[in-house]
Chains A and B, each alone.
Chain A
Amino acid sequence: MEYFVNEKGYYGDFGGAYIPEMLYPNVEELRQNYMSIINDEGFQEEFKKLLKDYVGRPSPLYLAKRLSSKYHANIFLKREDLNHTGAHKINNTIGQILLAERLGKKRIIAETGAGQHGVATATVCALRGLECVIYMGEIDIERQAPNVARMKMLGATVVPATSGSKTLKDATNEAMRDWVNNPVDTHYIIGSVVGPHPYPDMVALFQSIISEETKKQLIEQTGRDQPDYVLACVGGGSNAMGMFYHFINDAAVKLIAVEAAGKGVSSGYTAATTALGKEGVLHGSRSILMQTEDGQVVEPFSVSAGLDYPGIGPQHAHLFKTTRAQYVSITDEEALNAGLLCTQLEGIIPAIESAHAIAQLEKMEFKAGENVVVCLSGRGDKDMETYMKYFGL
């Protein structure tokens, strides 16, 4: 079974580039150039150097002892929360800004949900001196005020998306409209493994550093590079794809993707895409999305802004359909409680997104000695207000 993109831009039935003609030249320019740019030695050298000296990679793979004894397995946390800007998102923005420079682009746009990708984008724009415009849903702007302030301090213009549910999906629409209107000098840094080909592949490549490091670290710590389970949360799915990437072709490694159930899969307030979605086209690729009979995109819901998205990336849709990865979901409440648990057992306050992956441990049965890697995709500083409200802190 082929799990990676083919020459036509598809993962099995999913992927492609469903974009209006106005975007064709931009996307085509990327498609023709991204592999040769990324494979260029000079690019790799600069990329790896920035990841090391600026982002602080490799991020630790930490054997969480007290979580391990609670769940009777070796629970390893891949500490993407320790990256500069506090999440995995920066791996991708560093890669894309270097790529944008090589394409001669002068202006960067991006969408953001929780604000992590917006901050990561504004950060690399400050680093390289490029103009930066971030689209963010009006509701997310309210619930992620500290990240909005960070982006502004970094010199970005933050534009509220006021249509639809006023969250990530609508911010993505606005960013795409901006790109339609500014086709020549602008690069759109998509923050997840979504969008028209080659974005899902490109973002997965930049995030694949997560599993590349994990394999090496597992050898050092366990003597083999094969964990029994790998878990990660999925909104669009970029940290999960980075965490899965180098394990996908190793059938012995069980991959578990955790979606946000919101108030419950059947509650009408959910972002559990694979549980409720059907095949269709959203934001430029054929994938699985939550939609009505008539093909209108359904407004998602999750306490976590980063998972509040009605679709998943096309490669995830393919891993789901082929059952290579298992897709499960965790409610707001379960995630928040897992966030508290991780904090009190390990002294790590996780982002609520990442807490979804941790919450899944509770639902699994492990055999003694099994090695389990959980991607701790981001830190919880941005979520303190939500935690405070929920736990009455």
Chain B
Amino acid sequence: MNRINQLFQNKNKNILSIYYTAGYPNLDDTLTIARALEEAGADMLEIGFPYSDPVADGPVIQASSKQALDNGMDLKLLFEQLKDLRKYVNIPVLLMGYVNPLLQYGVENFCKACAEVGVDGLIVPDLPMVEYEEFYKDTFQQYGISNVFLITPQTAVERIHKIVELTNGFIYMVSSSATTGKNLSLSQVTEDYFSRVAALELKNPTMIGFGISDQPSFEKACQYASGAIIGTAFVKALQSDKLEESIQGFMIGFSK
């Protein structure tokens, strides 16, 4: 059983997952941030591998991606940096990014490299379900990599069930139809959607992301899911000259 499944088995409430972009703010911060986050109480990590054209992301994560690329980040280097990941970090780690860099690296090579360094899962927002099932699912499974799919308020119930069939990972519930970094609006529509998905009693755990930025929005999300994912607010809080302090400062705001 991989670390993601283990986590959800041991803890099914208030799981805090943090997203950050590899190679940002400085090229070599990737592992430092991972260690600091685990120490500060994060339950799971999502490390973004940067892409030049991140269409699902808002300005903050776009800027972090661009900075990371300017710093010289690429997938080869990322796996090199993650070589010692499991010496220092015990919590589940996922990589998140867009499909083109993954295709250029080669899906099999990518899954193999993930397995070697101890990455547990992948989130690739623009990899369609059909292509995943037809071309890549076997490879992911062969290397024990969980593929995490997104759902939104517009995702039909049949499609959610199809996703559940396809993956043993958690279901990433995008809080609203938006790019990353918009504030969670706790409208009736959003709550109805959260409740609707909760009522499906899916076999896979759910995590809510997009628009979660602080303790109140985190708590709200946790009422409807196993936990929540914070990205933009964390990336914004990172200070390159006081990296570890800025991480601790951010995480202190969350009591779980």
When the two chains form their complex, are residues B103 and A17 in contact, meaning their CB atoms are under 8 A apart? no
When the two chains form their complex, are residues A294 and B104 in contact, meaning their CB atoms are under 8 A apart? yes
Partner of B152 from A22, A283, A292 at Cβ < 8 Å: A22
Q: How far is the CA of A289 from the CA of B53 in the complex (A)?
A: 13
Chain B interface residue count, Cβ-Cβ cutoff 8 angstroms? 41
Q: How far is the CA of A284 from the CA of B69 in the complex (A)?
A: 22
Partner of A296 from B52, B76, B99, B179 at Cβ < 8 Å: B52
**Does B226 sit within 8 A of A, measured CB to CB?**
no
Partner of B101 from A17, A183, A296 at Cβ < 8 Å: A296
Partner of B126 from A163, A279, A284, A294 at Cβ < 8 Å: A284
Q: How far is the CA of A17 from the CA of B131 in the complex (A)?
A: 9
When the two chains form their complex, are residues B125 and A183 in contact, meaning their CB atoms are under 8 A apart? no
Partner of A295 from B100, B179, B182 at Cβ < 8 Å: B100
**Does B17 sit within 8 A of A, measured CB to CB?**
no
When the two chains form their complex, are residues B76 and A19 in contact, meaning their CB atoms are under 8 A apart? no
When the two chains form their complex, are residues A295 and B53 in contact, meaning their CB atoms are under 8 A apart? no
When the two chains form their complex, are residues B55 and A281 in contact, meaning their CB atoms are under 8 A apart? no
Within 8 A of A (CB), among B171-197: 174, 177-179, 182
Residues of A within 8 A of B178 (CB): 22, 180-181
Residues of B within 8 A of A20 (CB): 55-56, 125-126, 150
When the two chains form their complex, are residues A164 and B155 in contact, meaning their CB atoms are under 8 A apart? no
Residues of A within 8 A of B24 (CB): none
Provide the main secondary structure of the chain B interface. Answer: loop
**Does A97 sit within 8 A of B, measured CB to CB?**
no
When the two chains form their complex, are residues A183 and B154 in contact, meaning their CB atoms are under 8 A apart? yes
**Does A94 sit within 8 A of B, measured CB to CB?**
no
B213 to chain A, nearest CB (A): 17
**Does A4 sit within 8 A of B, measured CB to CB?**
no
Residues of A within 8 A of B105 (CB): 294-295
**Does B250 sit within 8 A of A, measured CB to CB?**
no
Q: How far is the CA of A21 from the CA of B176 in the complex (A)?
A: 11
**Does B219 sit within 8 A of A, measured CB to CB?**
no
**Does B74 sit within 8 A of A, measured CB to CB?**
yes
When the two chains form their complex, are residues A19 and B101 in contact, meaning their CB atoms are under 8 A apart? no
Residues of A within 8 A of B128 (CB): 16-19
Within 8 A of A (CB), among B104-155: 104-105, 125-128, 130-131, 149-152, 154-155
Residues of A within 8 A of B154 (CB): 22, 24-25, 183-184
Q: How far is the CA of A124 from the CA of B182 in the complex (A)?
A: 31
Within 8 A of A (CB), among B53-101: 53-58, 62, 66, 69, 74-76, 98-101
**Does B102 sit within 8 A of A, measured CB to CB?**
yes
When the two chains form their complex, are residues B100 and A291 in contact, meaning their CB atoms are under 8 A apart? yes
When the two chains form their complex, are residues A177 and B126 in contact, meaning their CB atoms are under 8 A apart? no
**Does A293 sit within 8 A of B, measured CB to CB?**
yes
Residues of A within 8 A of B182 (CB): 181
**Does B234 sit within 8 A of A, measured CB to CB?**
no
**Does B51 sit within 8 A of A, measured CB to CB?**
yes
**Does A169 sit within 8 A of B, measured CB to CB?**
yes
When the two chains form their complex, are residues A169 and B53 in contact, meaning their CB atoms are under 8 A apart? yes
Q: How far is the CA of A291 from the CA of B99 in the complex (A)?
A: 13
Partner of B55 from A8, A16, A173, A279 at Cβ < 8 Å: A173
Nearest neighbor of B103 in chain A, beta-carbon distance: A280
Residues of A within 8 A of B125 (CB): 20-21
When the two chains form their complex, are residues B126 and A18 in contact, meaning their CB atoms are under 8 A apart? yes
User: Given contacts A25-B155, A173-B54, A295-B103, could you give 4 more A-B pairs where the C-beta distance is less than 8 Å?
Assistant: A20-B126, A24-B154, A180-B56, A181-B179
Nearest first, the 7 A-B pairs at minimum CB distance are A295-B104, A295-B101, A294-B74, A20-B125, A21-B150, A25-B154, A296-B52
